[in-house]
Structure 1
Amino acid sequence: MSASRGPAPASPPGPGATGTRGPSAAADGWRGVAAEQEPDEPGGRAALLLDRAGRSRRLLGSLLRPHPAPIALLVVLIVVSGAAGLAIPYLVKVGIDTGIPPLVAGRGPGTLLLVVGGVLGAALLQGITRQAFLRLSGRVGQDILLELRRRVFTHFQRLSLSFHERYTSGRVIARLTSDVEAISEMLGSGFDRVVTAVLTLAGTAAMLLVLDARLALVALLPLPVLVLLTLWFRRESTIAYRRTREAVALVIVHFVESMTGIRAVQAFRREDRNQEIFARLNADYRDANRRSMHLNALYMPGTKLIGNVTVALVLLYGGWLALRGTVTVGVLAAFLLYLRQFYEPMQDLSQFYTSVQSAGAALEKLAGVLEERPAVAEPARPVPLPAGPGPRGAVRFEGVEFRYGDGPPVLHRLDLAIPAGQTVAVVGPTGAGKTTIAKLIARFYDPVAGRVLLDGVDLRDLDEATLRRNVVMVTQENFLFSGTVADNIRFGRPDATMAEVVAAAKAIGAHEFIAALPDGYHTRVGKRGGRMSAGQRQLVAFARVFLADPAVLILDEATSSLDVPSERLVQRAMATVLAGRTALIIAHRLSTVEIAQRVLVVEDGRIVEDGPPDRLIAAAGRFAALRRAWLDSIA
């Protein structure tokens, strides 16, 4: 029954995986980190590109959909602004052809003044609508970016642990910074230009045909060359800007992980090697940008050259027609003004295409992330935990099998029952499956067969909030967030009062050292708790757990990084934290096991010994051997 529920979990990182590796390993494998995996089969690349385009359109459509009225108003404003701009050259033609002759004949400037008034009115209308368009488009654009950042941040938090173990923190930052910034640039400075350019091109072409079809044919004669140049630029710039987005992501990834692991970098003297790798990645980013600029350097002057040659041809042909009297001077003047309007937007289009390609590549990356589905999915119909005054926190494994991706089995048909309130220690050699058991209880992964139950309810039937409220995992690397000590203690219960925070700290023996800090509970802990010792960080973590009050507590090597005095402090705190709740303790240092009521010895994904520690020691089996080896190591 359970084996068919949900996909197999993704493979966790190996020795060189991006989720957990240190900067030394991270620095040597960046080439494929940011690049999308493309299929090798025939037609695969085309299918991939179609899929990318489709998901980008879906994302953009979902972002625009909540703003129908402002977008409709933007369309009206830009149409009115474009129409006002198109009216000015035609009014110039009217002024030259019908306003100047009466003035020359001495009949007064009435007609010319009317035309001048029309030109001023059109210019004023164009300015007002343009300003309104820019203000409204800026507001809508910022609302879209706000929603996009919210979606990306929320989605990253919802994705399963398996995703974060293979997706580096640098790539996460690249998605939320440089990619969003590329879209912001397009919305902020490019969108209005391209809409104006498209309307101007269409309107100008129509006006050219209305004024004089012969001149229009001459003006449009170079258009095929321009179309071919634009198609070439579009194809090449798409490739160039995708490469640019990937290159900048690699730079960010390497920088973030090198700075995050700066202690390891300096400890292993990796500065020169990391600098060498950064120089290569930085050079790749420079080369990608150079390629983009090279394309612009060909396309933009090319369009300008075509436009200037066209103006010269029209001026030559139009002047000849004017000498023959078949075209008026006003028509020729208006034609040249329209022609200038026709080719100038091509410059805007080329500049916009630069930003739209960059934004399009960024949109592809963001859409790809947002369409990632959690490997550990929320249930469609959540089941509540049984209510009642009785003990809670009973854990059961029923025929559980598990493997990471397509790898070998890690757990083999595991059956295990942990009564509510029991403290169980899990020991065994490295790679035996101890931490996998813990991750399954915390539902960081789902089993590929069998099921894990909490108080008789399959974990896959519990909603995320219920599961996280009842199951908490503490590791040796307990993360302290930037903020105060009190903020970190109330992390699992943001609504806790200061009195409750202090009571939790007193209960686990952390109050004395916290009160001695410069600002007590309001002392800022620094980056990742860097202003506190390892033992102090662990005590704060236990105070956090005590305040959150979960039914099940998992301690994964929670004291392995501590010295002996700190370990003694933490062990006293553990006795308080574990009282009255189900606990699973994973430890190599068997001093932690002393407080356990039951010991499980795990080897090769199977439980080979199970019982109270005293009985296992007396049996002189595997646990007794592990204990003797540990005692010899500390002797």
Structure 2
Amino acid sequence: MSAPVSTVTAEGSDDATSAAESRRIRRRSLGLLRSLLRPVAGAAWATAALVVGAQLAAVAGPALVAYGIDQALPALTDGDAGPITLATAAYLAAALLGGLLTAATVRASARVSQTMLLDLRRRVFRHTQRLSLEFHEKYTSGRIISRQTSDVDALRELLDGGVTTLASGVLAMVFTAVSLVLLDWRSGLVLLIAVVPGVVLTRWFQVRSQVQYRKQRTAAARLIVRFVETMTGIRAVQAFRREPQVRGVYGELAEDYRDTNARSIRLNGVFDTGLTLIGNVTVAAVLLVGGLRALEGGIEVGVLVAAVLYARRFFNPLQQIGMFYNSFQSATAALEKLASLLAEEPTVPEPVHPQRLAQARGDVRFDDVEFGYGTGPTVLPHVDLHIPAGQSIALVGETGAGKSTIAKLLARFYDVREGAVRLDGLDLRDIEPADLRRAVVMVTQEAYLFSGSISANIALGKPEATPAEIEAAARAVGVHDLVAAMPDGYDTEADKRGVRLSAGQRQLVSFARAFLADPALLILDEATSSLDLPGEALVQVGLQTLLADRTSVVIAHRLSTVMGSDRVLVIEDGRIIEDGSPTELVAAGGRFADLHADWQRSLRRTA
């Protein structure tokens, strides 16, 4: 008997956890919404006042018609044109005022929504830039793009017109019902009875549209992510001739998205048709009941006409409210995702009491460092290492040995679990971030060039650099002649990902960028691994200039780069198993000596 009790308890615990998580997500989303609304609160209240005024002006129309028919027309037949003139003028004034207030509402609502969206876009961009490398390595670019595009657009659809539509619709229904009850309570009773099937239909639509729109959002997000990932990895797709397979997968996702849209359209069609039917039946009922009463003298003709107009007017907002619910569900899901993204905390936090490092020398120490990614296993177990200022060291070892991990810790892309990484005696976690980024520069194997000029790409290392300084950096690493021969020289557009330049040329531009930054500690993570032999020869000259007179850590599989280092560390399973100059390690006959022998044999074969 104890087992079922245990099961129920576990399920109850899961339900409680799920409910608590839902409340936490809801609070986080509402907190984000409140923070966006706070700066525009005054403008939002002003917009609400405009909505109230516009609906009051609109609801006055049928009442003025009733007055004109029942009071002004009889007065006119008696020769008094004053009441009909007053009724006509009042109707025109109400219509004009309603139109002006509606136009003002649209403009005011647009200003509020666009201000909020601008704030949100800036927040998302700033926050994703601030998040640590660990986040970006696990959070795909497609998901980030989806947050910045489709999710923000879902909020835009809601804010641009959805909120004012809801407010206008609710107020219109309330004002219409109240006006009709005050004008003729029996007609108002007919209208209120007809509200019941309208509310039931709207609720039916809301429940189903909630499920359908979440499916639609999921299908749209999958489609965007697949498209972005395919275009990002297009080289691999084309290299392995995977176009038919990728096209098939994308086609299935696109078809799923089409089907979800089609189901949403069918659902909307049922809702629209049902509301139209209920509205028409209600108008007919009001006309029938009122007409029978008019024959008996129980209701005036003008009041009957006004009642019919109010009945027709009542159900239009209900349709708008039902459609608003779709936008609301979509925006709620988007807001949850955006709030979740903005709630992400950097795993590499800013120092609480930052210490300045104005003139870095480049002395590096690993003091009993232990590290692992996230909650995963330990990758570097208790590493002790000292790199004197100005020394060039090379890290070699098999893939996965821990070389790039050491480089990422030096650049403070990650923080250690235990111990400390120090630069000039200061823990990296305590150094002023701007000083650290100025003192430590990392060049990876992907020499990424941004859209813009060659000059701007080089100046990324020192934004305030003069054209003379940019040219001097390019000359130092041997890329000046190449740039000068281009059509617009340093103003030549690099284009996206540097497609106009070869791999070796792009790497030289990245070297010029690093040279201009003039860091005390330079890290090269497989900076020549993607180059062919001619490209490597082109880069080696620039590499020697770049490494001169500064502390450098070079990660390379090619020993042509390693042999020029002052010191070599052989890494295996996160541990330093050999440490010495290239010559010493070759003579020692260990792991590095085996790598050196393999390299020499490969040179003889190519020769």
The equivalent residue for 1:624 is 593
Q: How many angstroms apart in 1 are the aligned matches of 2:602 and 2:568?
A: 21
Higher RCO (C-alpha 8 Å, min separation 6): 1
The answer to whether the 8 A contact 2:371-2:417 is kept is yes
Decide which of 52, 63, 75 is 2:25's aligned counterpart: 52
The 3-state SS of whatever aligns with 1:66 is: helix
User: 1:354-373 alignment to 2 at 5 Å?
Assistant: 354-373=326-345
The equivalent residue for 2:104 is 132
The answer to whether 1:379 aligns with 2:351 is yes
The answer to whether 1:203 aligns with 2:175 is yes
The 3-state SS of whatever aligns with 1:222 is: helix
Decide which of 488, 495, 507 is 1:526's aligned counterpart: 495
Q: How many angstroms apart in 2 are the aligned matches of 1:227 and 1:453?
A: 67
The equivalent residue for 1:584 is 553
The equivalent residue for 2:291 is 319
The 3-state SS of whatever aligns with 2:15 is: coil
Counterparts in 2 of 1:132 and 1:149: CA distance versus 1, 3 Å: same
User: 1:383-402 alignment to 2 at 5 Å?
Assistant: 383-385=355-357, 387=358, 392-402=361-371
The answer to whether the 8 A contact 2:206-2:322 is kept is no
The answer to whether the 8 A contact 1:400-1:412 is kept is yes
Q: How many angstroms apart in 1 are the aligned matches of 2:349 and 2:46?
A: 41
Q: How many angstroms apart in 1 are the aligned matches of 2:524 and 2:200?
A: 65
Q: How many angstroms apart in 2 are the aligned matches of 1:592 and 1:449?
A: 32
The equivalent residue for 1:536 is 505
The equivalent residue for 1:569 is 538
Q: How many angstroms apart in 1 are the aligned matches of 2:113 and 2:205?
A: 27
Cα-to-partner distance string for 1:191-221 (whole Å, 9 max, x where unaligned): 3222211111121122122122222222111
Q: How many angstroms apart in 2 are the aligned matches of 1:147 and 1:112?
A: 52
Structure 1 unaligned spans of 5+: 1-38
Count residues with an aligned counterpart: 593
The equivalent residue for 1:173 is 145
The equivalent residue for 1:95 is 68
CA RMSD of aligned residues (A): 1.8
Shift of 1:43: 4.5
Cα-to-partner distance string for 1:539-571 (whole Å, 9 max, x where unaligned): 100000011111211101111111223212322
Decide which of 248, 254, 257 is 2:220's aligned counterpart: 248
Decide which of 120, 138, 141 is 1:148's aligned counterpart: 120
Identity of aligned residues (%): 55
Amino acid of the residue matched to residue 151 of structure 1? R
The answer to whether the 8 A contact 1:401-1:413 is kept is yes
Q: How many angstroms apart in 1 are the aligned matches of 2:194 and 2:415?
A: 63
Bigger mean CA offset, 533-542 vs 490-499: 490-499
TM-score (norm 2): 0.94
Counterparts in 2 of 1:324 and 1:46: CA distance versus 1, 3 Å: farther
The equivalent residue for 2:243 is 271
Counterparts in 2 of 1:297 and 1:464: CA distance versus 1, 3 Å: farther
Decide which of 477, 483, 486 is 1:517's aligned counterpart: 486
Shift of 1:529: 0.7
Structure 2 unaligned spans of 5+: 1-11
Cα-to-partner distance string for 1:27-67 (whole Å, 9 max, x where unaligned): xxxxxxxxxxxx99334554444333332222222112111
The 3-state SS of whatever aligns with 1:319 is: helix
Decide which of 305, 317, 323 is 2:277's aligned counterpart: 305
Shift of 1:251: 1.0
Q: How many angstroms apart in 1 are the aligned matches of 2:427 and 2:197?
A: 66
The equivalent residue for 1:42 is 15
The answer to whether 1:66 aligns with 2:39 is yes
User: 1:450-461 alignment to 2 at 5 Å?
Assistant: 450-461=419-430
The answer to whether the 8 A contact 2:507-2:539 is kept is yes
The answer to whether the 8 A contact 1:74-1:137 is kept is yes
The answer to whether the 8 A contact 2:109-2:161 is kept is no
Bigger mean CA offset, 603-612 vs 352-361: 352-361
Cα-to-partner distance string for 1:117-167 (whole Å, 9 max, x where unaligned): 100111111111111111122222222222221111111111111111122
Shift of 1:617: 1.6
Q: How many angstroms apart in 2 are the aligned matches of 1:592 and 1:366?
A: 45
- Pick the structure with more helix per residue: 2
Shift of 1:294: 2.4
Q: How many angstroms apart in 2 are the aligned matches of 1:44 and 1:288?
A: 31
The equivalent residue for 2:49 is 76
Shift of 1:427: 0.8
Cα-to-partner distance string for 1:266-300 (whole Å, 9 max, x where unaligned): 11110110011001111111122123222212222
Counterparts in 2 of 1:47 and 1:294: CA distance versus 1, 3 Å: farther
Cα-to-partner distance string for 1:334-371 (whole Å, 9 max, x where unaligned): 12212222111112222222323222222222222111
The answer to whether the 8 A contact 1:296-1:350 is kept is no
Q: How many angstroms apart in 1 are the aligned matches of 2:198 and 2:18?
A: 28
Decide which of 459, 473, 482 is 2:442's aligned counterpart: 473
Shift of 1:83: 0.8
The 3-state SS of whatever aligns with 2:262 is: helix
The 3-state SS of whatever aligns with 2:361 is: coil
Amino acid of the residue matched to residue 243 of structure 2? E
Cα-to-partner distance string for 1:358-395 (whole Å, 9 max, x where unaligned): 2222222222211111122222332222x46xx61222
Amino acid of the residue matched to residue 139 of structure 1? R
TM-score (norm 1): 0.90
Bigger mean CA offset, 524-533 vs 235-244: 235-244
Cα-to-partner distance string for 1:493-535 (whole Å, 9 max, x where unaligned): 2221111100111111111111111211111122201111111
Cα-to-partner distance string for 1:165-204 (whole Å, 9 max, x where unaligned): 1222222222222222222222233332222111111211
Q: How many angstroms apart in 2 are the aligned matches of 1:152 and 1:633?
A: 50
